[in-house]
Amino acid sequence: MNYRHAYHAGNFADVLKHSVLFALIEAMQAKATPFAFIDTHAGSGCYALDGVEAGKTGEYKDGISRLLFPDLHPNSGKGQALPPLLRRWLDAILRLPGNDHGLKLYPGSPLQVANAMREIDSAQLCELHPEEATRLRDLFHHDHRVHVHQRNGYEALKALLPPKEKRGLVLIDPPYEAQEAEYRVIEKALKAALERWPTGVYAVWYPIKLRSQVQPFHRWLQHCSARRVLRAELLVHPDDSPLRLNGSGMVILNAPWKLDEALRDSLRVMAPMLSQERPAQWRLDWLVEDSAS
């Protein structure tokens, strides 16, 4: 495994992914009954922004740093009021132990979800890379709600679905080392997962370089068995170059009721704050929408 998320932690793609994830967790907690969170590619759980990896790329400076410290970035929407959802998410990051005197640590998906979970909720975290899995276990060794599995996350879904809670969210966030071939693996995993657990909520993060690379996946989603599929995207560069990460997206299968309303203001505000050479573009629409949406 060559990909290490520590180099990219807190970048603009993480901002989209984790703000959407935060909205999903809040939606799951709208009901009093417990829910399960399942992460197929969990990583190490937390990343030092003053560490060697993040220091080499500095990607967080054009991501989470712009939202937390807009005064340091004169072209990133300074003075713009943050929507309540975005404010709650950013406050949760600043409350992380170690961030008392500024942004030093960036929590990955597992830690962000664990910090937001209730006592009745649970998390199943899958990570294949031995070193990352060890760090993940160390991070959560004291938390009885969190279970770490050093195994292939796609394969683990067969054993983990449906969860005992009967309610929950699956996050599929692979490194896309296989590039376009990764989408076929995701489609196969989603098809099997929906057959085992048709009412589950599934969130898939994807990179955007060339639009043509993503379109077949979106067409597949339009014909999958999910009752509704919401798409959220943020582009900081035009989607016409395979040489860099131009944007990213999240698709949410069986999206919770009114999730689109919860996300719209955040995307509208984030786009100008994350703009680089030209204005960032965002999209929020339904690939599949049923009559109950």
Catalytic residue among 14, 39, 173, 260: 173
Joined together, the tokens standing for residue 98 give 């170690």
Contact (CB, 8 A) for 202 and 226: yes
Q: For the packed helices 181-196 and 211-222, what is the interaxial angle rounded to 10 degrees?
A: 20
Distances from the Cα of 64 to the Cα of 8, 143, 159, 240, angstroms: 11, 27, 35, 25
290 is catalytic: no
List, as own/partner pairs, every contact residues 212-220 make where C-beta atoms lie below 8 angstroms and the sequence separation is at least 24, other chains included.
213/179, 213/180, 213/242, 214/183, 214/249, 216/183, 217/183, 217/186, 217/187, 218/251, 218/287, 220/183, 220/187
Reading phi first (left if > 0) and then psi (alpha if -120 to 50, else beta), residue 79 is in left
How far is the C-alpha of 21 from the C-alpha of 156, rounded, in Å? 21
Token couple for 111: 């830690």
Instruction: Give dist(CA 212, CA 81) in Å, integer.
Output: 35
The SS3 assignment for 242 reads coil
Q: How many whole angstroms separate alpha carbon 123 and alpha carbon 24?
A: 14
With contact defined as beta carbons under 8 Å apart, do 137 and 24 qualify?
no
Residue 194 is inside which H or E element, if any?
Answer: helix 181-196
Active site residues: 173
